Amino acid sequence: MKKLITLFTFLSISAGTIAQKVDTALKKRVAANEVSTADSLLNSLTGNNKKVPVVIFKSSRLILAQSTETIKKNNFNFLVIHRFGDFAGKDGGGKVFFGLDAVADVYIGAEYGLTDNLNIGLGRSAIPWQGGLVNLELKYAALHQTTDDSSPIAITLLGATGLRPYNTFNSFGDRFSYFAEAIFARKLSPGLSIQLAPSIVHDNLPIPDVPGNTEQIFSLSATARFKLSKHMGFVIDYAHPFSSLRNGNNGFSDPLAFGLEMVTGGHVFTVNISNPRAVSEINYLSDTQSSYSKGQYRLGFTISRMFDFNHKEKYKGE
């Protein structure tokens, strides 16, 4: 009992001495009009007043949409994105092993960090009925959400050009499509991140080339990521094209996907279910004619592998 009383007395005296020192320092700073009393107390207690960027998402790619995250300078991100065939419906079921024997689209690409905030990307989408797509893009992180909330959101700008190398077109210019997007994201809590992304797709030749279609489409995408564990999250991805043609009466559906994201060292692996057959935003925003109600949804996955070229190790011979 005496030991407890002695220990308590010692801690009380120590705490009082520390508090007195902190209080004296605070009074001097407040008197000099450097900071407010509340801010001084908070900074003195936490010892952290830096504006550190918040990591909102675990990778630069989600399921359908891209995130606000960029690849850091001299980092190289290799991507493989796969969409299988219809799980059910007239083109799915057991005859194609629930879509696993069919391929809707395969995207192979890479992203490179020119700076921490500016990336260049190149990819190839194999989607056959649209003549494939070679995609070149630039991605710029204009604003980061910070830990002190001085910047409450992140804003990333994305621009891309797509070229269709196959199929027959009346002119070479008809092969080109363009995509522009502004991505707004915020980490609301340690377990929830969200983003909204208005975008414009411009097809020199309307895709699909049917009466009533237009060359330009405005759309709005929404994504949410729910943290399940330190290395796992659940992602919901949705997009709505604002087009009088693209509705259920004309056989079109809004793109919708959900999946499980797993982070393993330098890899980010996502297994998902989606109704769009295409991987590229240019393609799935222009032409999604697959419906969940008809069994036209598919299994897919994304593999992201990061390579860091900032740290060069010298070879040591034997």
Residues 105 and 21 in one domain: no
Query: Is the domain of 16 the same as that of 146?
Result: no
- Could you tell me how far CA 175 lies from the centroid of its own chain? 27
Domain count, the chain: 2
Q: Is residue 35 domain-shared with residue 150, that is, in the same domain?
A: no
Average pLDDT on 119-135 reads 89
How far is Cα of residue 244 from the mean position of the Cα atoms in its chain?
A: 28
- Give tens-digit pLDDT for 190-208: 999 999 999 999 999 998 8
If pLDDT is split at 50, 70 and 90, which confidence band does 127 have?
confident
User: Does 87 lie in the same domain as 12?
Assistant: no
What is the structure's pLDDT at 33? Answer: 44
- 162 lies in the same domain as 235: yes
Shared-domain flag, residues 222 and 183 = yes
Are residues 40 and 134 part of one domain? Answer: no
Burial (Cβ within 10 Å: 0-12, 13-18, ≥19) of residue 197: buried
In a domain, 167, yes or no: yes
Based on the domain organization, do 95 and 37 belong to the same domain?
no
26 located within any domain: yes
Residue with tokens 């208005």: 198
192 and 248 belong to one structural domain:
yes
More confident: 199 or 28: 199
CATH of the domain at 221: 2.40.160.40
Tell me the C-alpha distance between 138 and 123, whole Å.
12
43-57, 64-78, 151-165: least confidently modelled range: 43-57
Report d(CA 317, CA 296) in Å as an integer. 57
Asked if 95 and 21 sit in the same domain, the reply is no
Domain range spanning residue 40?
A: 8-46
- Band of the pLDDT at 216, cuts 50, 70, 90? very high
Residue 253: inside a domain, yes or no? yes
